[in-house]
Each structure stands twice: as C-alpha cells, then as structure tokens.
C-alpha cells in the first residue's frame, strides 16, 4: 500500500541500507534512542519539554535534533551486507521490511544515566496492555482499573497493584457492571500504593513481630525469607477462601483467592529475590513445589504470572540482548515433550484464544528470541515443570522446580496443528538433586510399568485404609518393624465424659459455611474450619468437627479427619532413625494427612507403669510443650481483622495421651524434627457429650513426593518427669539448622 509523502519531508537515498534501523525486539520493549546527525551536538536542558513538534526542515529549538530514522551522513554510508548465520541461529531468512515514512517530530536524546547495563523492561513490560478482550479472558471487571493479565504479565519491581483489585476479591467475567437502568458505570479513580525500596516492612501476629523485610532481603532472599513468604501467602489465601465460601455464590463470578492474596503481598512489598538473575535463586531449592504461579512470582523464581518464558535484556560488551531466565513447561502447548534430564520445549505464541492448539505460525520475538540468544550465549535457564495431579475430574496443577538447564539446539518444525513451532532442546546441568525424575519414578510405580525396589509389603494396612500403605526397605536386610495391630483410629478403653459440650448439629445435607443456625459452625467461631478442598484454614486451640450425633450428611466438609487417608503413604527404613513415613504424592499446605491412632491411656499411673512408658517409643503426649515461635496462621492485620481464636495455638488445655505400641496406624512411624513439615491439631467430634477427642496431622507447607514427614515431639515439662531420674531425653537426629539437640 502506497502512502503520500509530505512535501516537507526529508528525502532519503534509495541506496541506503534501511535494515540498519530495524530491531528484532518488540517495539514496546525498547527505550527509544534517537541519534543525532553526523557532527551535530545535542543538549537537553532540564526545563525544555521532552517532546517538541516542528517542521522537518526546521528551524529546530536549541538542544533538539531532527528525528529521521533513515538519515545517514554521506561519508558513512555503506553497502548492504548479506547477513550470515550466527552460531545457534535458526538459519532462515527474515522477510524484507517495508520502509516507513520519516516522522515529522523531534525528541531530546535520553540522558546517559538511562542506559543501564540491565534493561528494566523484562518480558516486554515497558508498558501494559489494556485491551478489554484480555480483561474479559482474565475475568477482570473493566471498571476495576486493574492492569490486564497479558502473556508477558510479570511481578516487576515497578509494578503497582490497583487498590480495587486488593479490596475487591470477586473477578467478574462481565466486561462492565451495569446500573439498574442498564447504563454502564464509570470506573472510579483509586489511589495506588507503591512500596519504597528502602522501607522496612514488618508483619505482626498477635502483637509479636512476625518477620521484618528490608531492601536487602527483598533484593536477595534466603531459605528463611522464602519459606516465610510462601507460608504468609498460603495462609492469607486460605483465609480469603474461607471468607468467600461464607458468601452467597454469584453467577459469573470467579473466586481467585490466590490472585487476591498475591496482590496484597505485592502492595505490602512482602516478596523477595526482586533482583533479576540468571541461575539459581537464593532460598529456592531444587525440588520445591508450588500450587500457584503467584508463589513463584513472590519468591523470584519465575516472574510472569501467565507466560511460560521469563526473560530480560542484558548488555554483553557493547550489545544488549534478551536472554531467558526461566521457563515453565506445563503442557500448554501441544508439542512439549520431556523425560528425565532432557526437555524438548515448544516456543510461545501461535495459540491465540486457544489454550492447547496452534492456530498461526510462531514468530521469533519476545521469549522465543530470548531462548535463541540464550543458546548462542550458553546461559543457564531455570526449568519449572508443571504436572496434573489427581483424577481427571479433580486434577490440580503442581509445579516442581527442576533446576538449571542449558539449551543445546533449536529448530523450526511443523506442529500437530500444521503451523510452524519453534523447538528447543534443553539438557539438565549435572550434579543437581533429583526432582522431576522422582515424579516420573512414582508415576511408573503407580502404573506398574516399573517395580518399586525394596518393597516388603504392598499394603501393610491389609485393606484397613482406602489407600494402600507400602512397607519398603532399600537400606538393609531388616524385614519390617516390630509386630503391631493396624487400627485406623483411636480406641478409648473406657468411656470418658467430655469437658466441652459436643452435641451435634441439625443440618440437612452438608453443613454450609456461614450458616448461623448450624451449631458446629457456631462452635468454630462462625466459620467452618475447612475450605472446599478440605484444607484447614488455621491452627486453633480446638477444631470442632461434626460427629456421630450430627444429622448432616457423610460428605459434609466438616468431617475431614474422619475420611481416612487421601495420599499414598510409604513406611520406609531410614539410614539412622529407624522407620519413617513419606508420601508418593505431593501434599498441599494445610492438607489432612492422618490422625494419631492407638489406645488412649490414663495419665494417673504408678511408678511401674511410668517405667513402661519410658520404654514405649510410640507415646503421643499432648501435654508436652512446643516451640512457641511457630507461626502458621494468616496475619490478621493484612485483612484489617482483629486477632482472635484463629491465632490460638495453646493445646495444653485438653491433655491426651495415646499409646501406639501395640495398636496404631501410620502416624506411629512419623519421626521427630525441630524443623518439621507437619503439625498436629486437636479435633473434637460431636458425640453426645462423650469425649471424642482426636489428634489430626496437617501439612505445614507444600511437601514434595518422597519427602519424609516429621512433626515436633515437644519436651516433657511435667513435675513428675522433672523429678524422675529415670527419664531420659532422647538425642535428636533431625539435622536441621534449628535443632534443639534433643526431645522428650
């Protein structure tokens, strides 16, 4: 298509190599730099406006130079050169670009300070797209003034989350809210808050300092800060989910508590590893798992909240190029293939409005270009693999950090849909702990394609549990633990009257969140203790579950600890701690694992019975003292709530002693750790005023497959044991940095 040229436009030579002004980077990722003509000196006084319009032929204001993208001094013109294939390039010719008409405008050159070694526009985020179609795809109300979630959307250092996104939890699918007369409401302006990089931020929980973040910790994290941020995020997400569950469901509303929790923490500056980097991320370990993309954003592992390729521009010598930092392989593209230490990764793009199918050819831009440059520069790329876990109707996506990879080769091939796809072969850097390999091994064990080495019994419960529990020893020749009778719950040797009222509810069907007429909801402070996925919201002094005296249905969500095992557990022989317990499946933070089963024993005993207790390694004593610094619940101040029972953790008011020496379940094999990944919670089931108190175990954090499950045994502080010379404190072998040296 031809275009008329203004008669005042500056002419350009037909022999000029116009490709010199082109750049393969997307325009929105570039900070414009306008060259001055040969021999022309520019000057930019502070008081002069940054943009001035004038005629192309002049006159020009002082300090301004004409912007003519095709102007080259006659003595510096060169003949076009045939481009050569760079090492690691794709080896295809780029189409010829049509020259643009010179723009009749002039701009001052940027100051030298603006040219930093690391370009801040990672992932093309020099500006944000506001297309309403993408807002609709993300389910965000147009009137909320929220930055749209695009393919390059990332947790950038300069990102400001809009106030309505923080205050309004519901994400409306409709493009705009309408008033009663059908007219669209105008979006209101909201204040935005941006955190100062030098400001120290602290979280308070029940009046105590939870943790303080300064500028250094936000730039470079460690294991403690990463763990704290992930714990804070998930606790806040659970509470937001609980609040929304109690509200009446609205058609067309998507409840995304993860996005709301992430926005709150971003606005508060509660994040770490904000400094973008190639290679390992401080505090994030190979094998860590994530159930939400926002978790990876907050700890600096992978910045984009949607895109699969995270990249940034880096200056190599005198040339600035985009390089890839991390990729997420989650099956969003039809041609992704990965097994073991090799990953064949498909480039991004080409699947417009389609999640799993190509509809156009992919282009060498953005993340695809960054991967190609990483191949040429031989830089390492972090790889996160996403996998669907669970049954097809209830599967969830879990992301595992598989460590560093290097790109070995790249090419273009025709995908299954008939369109061109960029392909990259990545090979894992040797010497790293296994992560994805473990997932693949477990999958093969479940499918029966390979046999688990060292299996003694495929199910030591003999069918007492709905999920089998394997007994495995791949360490030595021991054939199993001492004999005991497997029993999945508690045995009260004699009836015990409850000291707390436990009459049941009169609900028809399952108990509903926020139901003021449900006695079980009222006893839990007006909220059910679990969200819809069966995750416990907060650690409390006592959780009231529905029980035998309740008229609600068996599928009531307030019966979580009564439904048996939900993950495939394995009792295995450890190297130095006897038998231990771990899971074949990933476990989400707050998920129920099992209860401590056994025989309830009387605390009032003679000396002979106490001597027997000293030899009983399977005693659970709820009266022991525990680490008071353990904080797992949400920080109520983040939601402007007053601290209440949601932060109570005192369990000593309901003493309970259980012996699993002769009768018990898998919990008897759980070892002690001073830095555990499991906590225990007293649960009282409604049973007509008879004592039906149980001890349930829940995950403190996301637990990867084949990770040993441990909890804190505590320390006996009773006067009887302190005066008993025969009581021996056991040596702790947990090996954590917080080890107290002993327990019991």
Q: Are residues 367 and 502 in the same domain?
A: no
Q: Are residues 516 and 445 in the same domain?
A: no
Q: Strand 455-457 to strand 598-600: parallel, antiparallel, or no bridges (unpaired)? A: unpaired
Q: Which domain CATH number covers 551?
A: 2.170.270.10
Q: Are residues 619 and 670 in the same domain?
A: yes
Q: Are residues 401 and 530 in the same domain?
A: no
Q: Does the residue 669 lie in any domain?
A: yes
For the chain, how many structural domains are there in total?
Answer: 3
Q: Are residues 348 and 422 in the same domain?
A: yes
Q: Degrees (nearest 5) of the Cα angle 673, 646, 168?
A: 115
pLDDT in tens, 195-225: 444 444 444 333 333 456 678 888 899 999 9
The last residue of one of the domains, among 112, 140, 169, is 112
Q: Which domain CATH number covers 438?
A: 2.30.280.10
Mean pLDDT in residue range 578-599: 97
pLDDT of residue 200: 44
First to last CA, the chain: 84
Q: Are residues 388 and 491 in the same domain?
A: no
pLDDT of residue 506: 93
Mean pLDDT in residue range 614-633: 79
- 213: which strand partners? 201
Q: Are residues 409 and 500 in the same domain?
A: no
Residue 104 has pLDDT above 60, yes or no: no
Q: Does the residue 734 lie in any domain?
A: yes
Residue 109 has pLDDT above 60, yes or no: no
Residue 594 has pLDDT above 90, yes or no: yes
Higher pLDDT, 736 or 34: 736
Residue 194 has pLDDT above 60, yes or no: no
Q: Are residues 535 and 676 in the same domain?
A: yes
Q: Which domain holds residue 70?
A: 1-76+103-112
Q: Give burial (CB, 10 Å; 0-12/13-18/19+) of 339.
A: exposed
> DSSP strand E in 652-722: where?
657-659, 663-664, 671-672, 678-685, 693-699, 710-711
The last residue of one of the domains, among 112, 132, 158, is 112
- Best mean pLDDT range from 40-54, 124-138, 401-415, 631-645: 401-415
Q: Does the residue 721 lie in any domain?
A: yes
pLDDT of residue 366: 93
Mean pLDDT in residue range 357-369: 90
Q: Are residues 529 and 424 in the same domain?
A: no
pLDDT in tens, 5-58: 444 444 444 444 544 444 455 544 444 544 444 444 444 444 444 445 555 455
pLDDT in tens, 477-509: 999 999 999 999 998 877 676 667 668 899 999
For the chain, give the mean pLDDT. Answer: 75
What share of the chain in percent tops pLDDT 70?
A: 62
Distance CA 694, CA 490 (A): 7
User: Cis peptide leading into 59, omega within 30 of 0?
Assistant: yes
Residue 313 has pLDDT above 70, yes or no: yes
Decide: pTM greater than 0.85. no
Lowest mean pLDDT among 68-82, 282-296, 379-393, 656-670: 68-82
Higher pLDDT, 404 or 147: 404
pLDDT in tens, 448-482: 889 999 999 999 999 999 999 999 999 999 999 99
Q: Does the residue 534 lie in any domain?
A: yes
Residue 166 has pLDDT above 50, yes or no: no
Q: Does the residue 468 lie in any domain?
A: no
Q: Strand 337-339 to strand 342-346: parallel, antiparallel, or no bridges (unpaired)? A: antiparallel
Q: Does the residue 473 lie in any domain?
A: no
Question: Residue 156 — pLDDT band, cuts 50, 70, 90?
Answer: low
Angle between helices 223-245 and 257-268 (to 10 degrees): 130
pLDDT of residue 225: 93
Distance CA 257, CA 243 (A): 10
Residue 129 has pLDDT above 50, yes or no: no
Q: Does the residue 301 lie in any domain?
A: no
Q: Are residues 653 and 714 in the same domain?
A: yes
Residue positions counted in the chain: 744
pLDDT of residue 287: 97
- Of the candidates 363, 577, 581, 288, the residue with the CA atom closest to the CA atom of residue 460: 581
Q: Does the residue 495 lie in any domain?
A: yes
Tokens of 24: 């393969």
pLDDT of residue 384: 96
Residue 727 has pLDDT above 90, yes or no: no
Q: Are residues 427 and 493 in the same domain?
A: no
Residue 675 has pLDDT above 70, yes or no: yes
Question: Residue 624 — pLDDT band, cuts 50, 70, 90?
Answer: confident
> DSSP strand E in 238-277: where?
253-255
pLDDT of residue 644: 54
Q: Are residues 411 and 542 in the same domain?
A: no
Mean pLDDT in residue range 86-99: 40
pLDDT of residue 97: 40
Residue 595 has pLDDT above 90, yes or no: yes
Higher pLDDT, 351 or 254: 351
């Amino acid at each position: 298509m031809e275009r008329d040229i203004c008669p005042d436009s500056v002419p350009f030579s037909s022999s000029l190599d116009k490709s010199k002004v082109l750049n393969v980077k997307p325009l929105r990722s570039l900070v414009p730099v306008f060259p001055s003509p040969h021999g022309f000196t520019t000057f930019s006084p502070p008081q002069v406006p940054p943009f001035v319009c004038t005629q192309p032929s002049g006159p020009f204001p002082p300090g301004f130079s004409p912007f003519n993208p095709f102007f080259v001094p006659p003595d510096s013109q060169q003949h076009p050169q045939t481009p050569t294939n760079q090492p690691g390039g794709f080896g295809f010719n780029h189409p010829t670009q049509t020259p643009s008409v010179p723009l009749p405008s002039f701009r001052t050159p940027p100051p030298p300070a603006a040219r930093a070694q690391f370009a801040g526009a990672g992932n093309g985020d020099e500006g944000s797209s506001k297309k309403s179609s993408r807002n609709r795809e993300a389910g965000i109300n147009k009137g909320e003034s929220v930055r749209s979630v695009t393919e390059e959307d990332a947790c950038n250092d300069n990102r400001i989350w809009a106030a309505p996104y923080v205050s309004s939890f519901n994400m409306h699918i409709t493009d705009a809210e309408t008033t009663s007369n059908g007219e669209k409401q105008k979006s209101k302006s909201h204040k935005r808050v941006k955190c100062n990089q030098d400001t120290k931020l602290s979280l308070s929980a029940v009046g105590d300092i939870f943790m303080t973040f300064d500028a250094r910790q936000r730039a470079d994290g460690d294991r403690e800060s990463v763990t704290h941020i992930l714990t804070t995020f998930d606790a806040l997400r659970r509470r937001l989910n609980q609040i929304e569950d109690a509200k009446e469901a609205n058609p067309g509303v998507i409840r995304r508590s993860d996005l709301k929790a992430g926005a709150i923490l971003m606005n508060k500056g509660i994040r770490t590893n904000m400094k973008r980097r190639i290679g390992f991320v401080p505090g994030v370990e190979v094998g860590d798992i994530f159930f939400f993309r926002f978790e990876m954003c907050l700890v600096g592992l992978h910045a984009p909240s949607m895109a699969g390729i995270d990249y940034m521009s880096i200056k190599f010598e005198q040339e600035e190029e985009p390089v890839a930092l991390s990729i997420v392989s989650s099956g969003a593209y039809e041609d992704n293939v990965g097994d073991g230490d090799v990953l064949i990764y498909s480039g991004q793009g080409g699947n417009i409005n389609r999640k799993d199918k190509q509809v156009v050819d992919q282009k060498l831009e953005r993340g695809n270009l960054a991967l190609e440059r990483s191949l040429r520069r031989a830089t390492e790329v972090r790889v996160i693999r996403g996998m669907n876990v669970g049954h097809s109707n209830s599967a969830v996506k879990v992301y595992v950090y598989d460590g560093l990879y290097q790109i070995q080769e790249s090419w273009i091939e025709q995908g299954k849909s008939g369109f061109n796809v960029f392909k990259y072969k990545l090979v894992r850097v040797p010497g790293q702990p296994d992560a994805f390999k473990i997932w693949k091994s477990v999958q093969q064990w479940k499918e029966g394609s390979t046999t688990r080495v060292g299996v003694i019994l495929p199910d030591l419960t003999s069918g007492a549990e709905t999920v089998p529990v394997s007994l495995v020893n791949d360490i030595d020749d021991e054939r199993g633990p001492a004999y005991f009778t497997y029993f999945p719950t508690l045995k009260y040797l004699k009836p015990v009257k409850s000291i707390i009222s436990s009459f049941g509810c009169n609900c028809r069907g399952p108990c509903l969140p926020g139901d003021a007429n449900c006695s079980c909801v009222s006893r839990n402070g007006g909220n059910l203790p679990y969200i819809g996925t069966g995750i416990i919201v907060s650690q409390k002094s006592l959780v009231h579950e529905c029980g035998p005296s309740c008229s609600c249905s068996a599928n009531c969500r307030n019966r979580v600890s009564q439904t048996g095992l939900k993950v495939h557990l394995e009792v295995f022989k450890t190297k130095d701690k006897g038998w231990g317990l771990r899971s074949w499946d990933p476990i989400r933070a707050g998920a129920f694992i099992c209860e401590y089963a056994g025989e309830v024993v009387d605390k009032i005993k003679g000396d002979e019975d106490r001597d027997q207790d000293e030899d009983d390694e399977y005693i659970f004593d709820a009266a022991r003292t525990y680490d008071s610094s353990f904080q797992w619940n949400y920080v109520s101040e983040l939601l402007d709530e007053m601290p209440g029972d949601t932060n109570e953790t005192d369990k000593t008011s309901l003493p309970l002693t259980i012996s699993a020496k002769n009768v018990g379940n898998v919990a008897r094999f759980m070892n002690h750790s001073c830095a555990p990944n499991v906590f225990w919670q007293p649960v009282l089931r409604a049973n007509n005023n008879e004592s039906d108190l149980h001890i349930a175990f829940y995950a403190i954090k996301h637990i990867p497959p084949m990770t040993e499950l441990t909890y804190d045994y505590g320390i006996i502080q009773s006067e009887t044991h302190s005066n008993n010379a025969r009581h021996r404190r056991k040596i702790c072998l947990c090996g954590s940095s917080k080890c107290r040296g002993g327990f019991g």
